[in-house]
Amino acid sequence: MAKATNTEIIDLLGEKFGEQLFDVTEPYGLLTFSTTKDKVINVLSFLKENGKINFNFLTDLTAVHYPEKNQIAVVYHLHSMVSGIRVRLKVFLHENDAAIPTASTLWNAANWMERETYDFFGVKFEGHPDLRRILNMDDLGVHPMLKQYPLEDPNRVDKKDEYFGR
Amino acid sequence: MSEINIVDAPPGIEGSGFFATSLDKVIGLARSHSLWPLPFATSCCGIEFMATMGSHYDFGRFGAERLSFSPRQADLLMVMGTIAKKMGPVLKQVYLQMAEPRWVIAVGACASSGGIFDTYSVLQGIDEIIPVDVYVPGCPPRPEAILDGFGKIQELVKNESGRRRYSDQYKQMLASYGIE
């Protein structure tokens, strides 16, 4: 079975979804495109179940916070075990309304990945069977990977170099 | 001459067939040379402690041969490694399950102060939740440093008054940690 090239994949998707996919790029040869949150489950299930490309493995599911655009992107990395090709799908959400349908209907692996994404970014996955924090303590009260939080408390004095003879 | 060092007897009154000293000193002498540590090892400092337990550094020669992995008979809690805030309640429970008298040693930068992990998820020093007797600096400390810290604990144990644990000051200190 010949590997499907990025061009073939995007042609196949273009036939099926047309204008619902946009921002198609190929950074470092990794085919990347975006869709909207209404269409994301359709696109993912097509990628998973289409016999030609067969992206049957969810490598990763995470989010990126873009504070300057007030956006949170949910990122899906898919891998085809059959032909060894990869693809990346992004969905941009507004940070005040970060909600997206769950992918755990397609991959059970998405369950914990989505819990982690909820834990760190506060993205709500609608229809998730058990959306609780997974890594942080339950009473943390914040989603620590959002970029409004500074890396270090600017008021600390106990880490100044003069205390360490530097 | 023999190479063996014998611990000096505590100050007291010696005569033919008897030796009189204070009870505190005898108890302290016995306790300090038979400490049973509970190693609470979470990271690299724990590995360093394993080297300390090995034949080269031989932690056992201080009477700490039996490491207790249960709070039941342990009297020295050795916290070695990063304590995440999520681990905090577990550490506190282990401390509470130990019987008095108990001592705590914080080994390494993480247990003492959070170390390099100035982060939302890491406890900035275990002294936020339990009282600490000795801090061992280093990242990670060499086995010699752990032995030195243990020696400091032994000095504390040896010189502790028998009434210390009943004093108001000690009770207040525990109360400040919310421990009854």
Which chain A residues contact residue B85 at CB under 8 A?
137, 140
Token digits of residue A149 = 């939080």
pTM over 0.85: no
Of B85, B86, B118, the CB nearest to A152: B118
Residue of A135, A137, A147, A164 best to disrupt the B interface, most CBs of B under 10 A = A137
Look at phi and psi of residue A29 and say left if phi exceeds 0, alpha if psi is from -120 to 50, else beta.
Answer: left
With tokens 């530097």, the residue in question is A166
Q: Each residue of B121-156: pLDDT tens digit?
A: 889 889 999 999 999 999 899 999 999 999 999 999
CB-based contact A22:A46 (threshold 8 Å)? no
The reply to whether residue A137 touches residue B118, judged by beta carbons under 8 angstroms, is no
Residue A28 has pLDDT above 70, yes or no: yes
CB proximity A153 to B under 8 Å: yes
**A137: distance to nearest CA of chain B, Å?**
5
Give the phi and the psi of residue B161 in degrees, each rounded to 5: -75, 145
Q: What is the mean pLDDT of chain A?
A: 88
Which chain B residues contact residue A137 at CB under 8 A?
85-86, 121
Which CATH architecture describes the domain B34-177?
Answer: 3-Layer(aba) Sandwich (3.40)
**What average pLDDT does this structure show over B172-176?**
90
Token digits of residue A124 = 């709500």
Q: Each residue of B5-39: pLDDT tens digit?
A: 777 778 888 889 998 988 888 888 889 988 999 99
Rounded Cα distance between B54 and A123, Å, is: 48
Q: Given this model, what pLDDT does residue A1 score?
A: 53
Instruction: Please tell me which residue of chain B has the smallest CA distance to A139.
Output: B86
Amino acid at site B97: Q
For residue B154, count CB atoms less than 10 angstroms from its CB and return exposed for 0-12, middle for 13-18, buried for 19 or more. Answer: buried
Q: Each residue of A113-140: pLDDT tens digit?
A: 999 999 999 999 999 999 999 999 888 8
Instruction: Please state the domain extents for chain B.
Output: 34-177
Cross-strand partners of B106: B79, B135
Q: Each residue of B37-54: pLDDT tens digit?
A: 999 999 999 999 999 999
Q: Given this model, what pLDDT does residue B146 score?
A: 93
Helices (H), strands (E): how many in chain A? 3, 7
Instruction: Please tell me which residue of chain A has the smallest CA distance to B117.
Output: A152
Which chain B residues contact residue A149 at CB under 8 A?
120
Q: Which residues of B are annotated as part of the binding site for [4Fe-4S] cluster?
A: 44-45, 110, 139
Residue of B90, B118, B124 best to disrupt the A interface, most CBs of A under 10 A = B118
Q: Given this model, what pLDDT does residue A148 score?
A: 86
Helix residue spans in B15-135 (DSSP H): 23-32, 44-53, 88-97, 108-113
Q: Which residue has the higher pLDDT, A87 or B180?
A: A87
The reply to whether residue B86 touches residue A142, judged by beta carbons under 8 angstroms, is no
The reply to whether residue B121 touches residue A144, judged by beta carbons under 8 angstroms, is yes
First to last CA, chain A: 62
Residue B1 has pLDDT above 70, yes or no: no
Of B86, B118, B120, the CB nearest to A144: B120
Amino acid at site A55: F
* CA-closest candidate to residue B45, choices B136, B132, B152, B128: B136
Q: Which residues of B are annotated as part of the binding site?
A: 44-45, 110, 139
Q: Each residue of A58-83: pLDDT tens digit?
A: 999 999 999 999 999 999 999 998 88
The reply to whether residue A136 touches residue B118, judged by beta carbons under 8 angstroms, is no
Rounded Cα distance between B170 and B162, Å, is: 12
Give the phi and the psi of residue A105 in degrees, each rounded to 5: -70, -25
Q: Each residue of B87-122: pLDDT tens digit?
A: 999 999 999 999 889 999 999 999 998 888 888 888
